[in-house]
A = this chain, B = another copy of it.
Amino acid sequence: MPEHELAFTGIAEAGALLRAGKVSSVELTEAAIAQAERLQPTLNAFITETHEQARDAARRADADFAAGIDRGPLQGIPVALKDLCATKGVRTTAGSAVLADWVPDFDATVVRKLAEGGAVSLGKLNLHEFAYGVTSANEHFGVVRNPWDTERIPGGSSGGSGSAVAAGICAGAIGSDTGGSIRIPAALCGITGLMPTYGRVSRAGVVPLSWSLDHVGPLTRSVEDAALFLNAIAGFDPADGSSLDEPWFDAAEGIGAPVEGLRVGVVRQQFELADDDVRQAADGALKELESLGMRLHEVELPLLMQARALPILGIEAAAYHAEWLRARPEDYSDEVRTLLLWGATFSGVDYVNALRVRREFTEQVEAAMREVDVLVMPTCPSVASRITEIESGVARFAGLTAPWDHTGQPVLSVPCGFGDGGMPVGLSFAGRPFEEALIGRAGHAYQQATDWHLQRPAMAVSS
């Protein structure tokens, strides 16, 4: 197998090869490192690479396989971590100057769970400063590039996660989503992103942006891989006050299950907010869903436009950053500092009113989802814009994603075609809380019927 094909082996497939003895974790890891060494100088997906630790972890995984020890589907698989996950002994910057020299003495719960599952981490991925900001550049650690067109943004805030997974540097990566930061880079980089149900994945040790909106979850190349990755990091964690003590579940249980008769709610308003090229791709996906036997229904959500403009994220971010912002304002970029100061201008009454709209919108979605099983919509209104276009920021890209951070429900983004400039387009499936398996069922069936998720950026497969 050529090295770049090994690099593009996904979690499910690599797991089968590892267990059949057809490939070793060391081989997978060396292919990943080779891919990183070749592409990182261009993409800048990583802030910190930990290749030697990765090699050690790969050897341990191979020793475990040899000894008959199986820690689960992530064992031996190359992954990477958005650099707001605390890593013991490895600098954790959150993309900021404030934490540029922070070396935690503990692992975030998701990092510990990945290690316990035998995953091989290649390092810490670039992101927007503190996962905030509306433009694409990270002033402190440089701009991340999209492997489909290196003059374009990968989307944010988990831009390094999107870029590295799309480029075949790793099979999956941790991202976090507060207004769309998993789903946007997944869509713009042509990969799969899964924002789990709020409270499903621990945030302990993950630098917060907004406590009531932050979700930690995976970016991978397939729905099946996203489900396997989620299984490895999910679960109740008393160290996270928002963690939910729910019974264990299998996010992958819907993979391969039939989808005939599944009721799909089309959020037409989101289609109308999208550019023509995006809408065309998403309309094509609707036809595909119908041809798979799913039944389409139109869904109206009158509060959708209000839900995308709520100040909750800004206010909560201002609360988290208040002390640093007073003590060392010069360590923030102008842009993030301005956003945080903007968040601080809201009153308690504004916040209460926003929470009320949030609840009403959530009730509207709940009511709509009594009639349908999943909702579908374009993930972003546009394909990835050029790095030089300042208006290409998160603000516009997050318009279609942000409402869904407020409801606590899981959303899965999958590639559904290509738009202007040959850039990928993403389609989102939103489920009821705790129904990751159901949206995975729909998304996997869609991926089986199409091959958008198997397309590779040219730079990543040429040698």
Contact = CB atoms under 8 A, between A and B. Distances in A.
Of A343, A351, A360, most B-chain CB atoms within 10 Å: A351
A311 B348 CA distance: 9
Contacts of A309: none
17 contacts: A211-B352, A211-B356, A241-B360, A241-B363, A311-B348, A316-B352, A319-B349, A319-B356, A344-B347, A344-B348, A344-B349, A346-B347, A347-B348, A348-B348, A348-B350, A351-B351, A351-B352
Contacts of A347: 344, 346-348
Listed from nearest, the 4 A-B pairs whose CB atoms lie closest are: A315-B348, A346-B348, A319-B352, A348-B351
Interface residues of A, number: 22
A238 B353 CA distance: 20
A360 to B, nearest CB: 7
A323 to B, nearest CB: 11
A359 interface: yes
Interface string A295-319: 0000000000000000100011011
A352 B319 CA distance: 7
A290 to B, nearest CB: 32
Interface string A319-348: 100100000000000000000000110111
A315 B355 CA distance: 12
A359 B243 CA distance: 12
Contacts of A315: 348-349, 351-352
A140 to B, nearest CB: 25
Contacts of A360: 241
A343 B348 CA distance: 8
A38 to B, nearest CB: 44
